Amino acid sequence: MKENKIEYIDFERALAAAISGEPLSVAWLVPLLDAAGQNETLLILSADKVRASTMGDSVHLRGLIEFSNYCRKNCHYCGLRKDNKKVGRYRLSKEEILECALKAEKLGYKTIVLQSGEDLHFSTEIMSGIIKELKEKTKLAVTLSLGERDEETYVAWRQAGADRYLLRIETTDPAIFKKIHPDSDLEYRKNCLYTLKKLGYQLGSGVMVGLPGQDALSLAKDIIWLKELGVEMIGIGPFLPHKETPLKNEKGGTLKQALRLIAVLRLVFPYAHMPATTAMGTLDPLGREQALEAGANVMMPNITPTAVRPLYEIYPNKICLDENADKCFGCVTARIIALGRTVGADYGHVIRKKL
């Protein structure tokens, strides 16, 4: 049976549909995602205006602790994949994680993000102990980004005190998902996100832009699914090919693609928290600033010990590898102020009543 042809509307009508909050449709999402020239400029300005009216001028800082680069998965885009024998593996101890957190709190962070590869050494019990100690010894909000686990584990970590969880879907296109995640299952990953939502975590997900085989229609369908999920934090990252992965020869994503996607997401999710990711700084020295001007309202400075930062190489040419936590905090703060924005003084919890 022949598939019905989609009739896309023009950019002006598409932007009006997004701003007025019309029901999501690929008919108006695709023209926005494909915007170019003056239309692209108008899209980004419109998104920044929405960000200012809903989230204000504060930029919330989340201190990122990359505490292990061991991973059981073999994702085709990721430098931490288990079959990459050229990366030196490391794990931070509980004491080292706590030391990073205490320093982050002293610097002024309100949130830390504990991120790792899918490292089962950090079991349900071990991570529960780390989370509890962090909550006992600091006033920090704790975000986890530890990949796919079972419901029992997610329950335990929530009970231990974890506030938020980040699990990017990367793509909802089954063919693309299988190409980049050969040992993962799309429906299982979706179910992980449904479970996290059910358990009351402040929920973060997101997609990678510029993946092989991806187009604006694919991204539009991703946005519709994220809306159905009820995601509250959205992370966007450009696909950056890593030389030690099967996708090493593929064309990478661009900053323009990422900025357009951020802008569209801000229009669709006016109250979601959205980071200007470090990967955008890899593509352009002012990439993070451009993301903040396209609708983003969060930055995630790296507070991992500098000795191991270069080993957490999901993608190549990561920035800020040799800057200590103090220097990173000062640099990011200065960048925010230079844009006429302010550093958020509160925890930046999600605004559920308006989502």
CA 213, CA 210: separation in Å to the nearest integer?
8
Task: Specify the pLDDT at position 23.
Answer: 96
**172 and 193 in contact (C-beta within 8 Å)?**
no
Flag whether 50 is in a domain.
no
Query: With DSSP H G I counted as helix, E B as strand and the rest as coil, what are the percentages for the chain, rounded to 5?
Result: 45, 15, 45
Flag whether 14 is in a domain.
no
Domain span including residue 307: 57-354
Angle at 89 between CA 88 and CA 95, to 5 degrees: 130
Task: Specify the pLDDT at position 101.
Answer: 98
| Structural domain count of the chain | 1
According to DSSP, the residues that pair with 170 across neighbouring strands are: 207
Burial bucket for residue 288 (CB in 10 Å: 0-12, 13-18, 19+): buried
Q: What is the mean pLDDT of each run of 10 residues along the chain (355 residues)?
A: 74 97 96 98 98 97 98 97 97 98 96 98 98 98 98 98 98 97 97 98 98 97 98 96 97 97 98 96 96 98 96 94 88 95 95 63
Flag whether 20 is in a domain.
no
Q: Please state the pTM of the whole predicted model.
A: 0.96
Flag whether 49 is in a domain.
no
Flag whether 111 is in a domain.
yes
CATH number of the domain where residue 167 is located: 3.20.20.70
Task: Specify the pLDDT at position 323.
Answer: 84
Task: Count other Cβ atoms within 10 Å, centred on residue 24.
Answer: 19
Task: Specify the pLDDT at position 1.
Answer: 37
Flag whether 8 is in a domain.
no
Task: Specify the pLDDT at position 4.
Answer: 67
Flag whether 15 is in a domain.
no
Flag whether 116 is in a domain.
yes
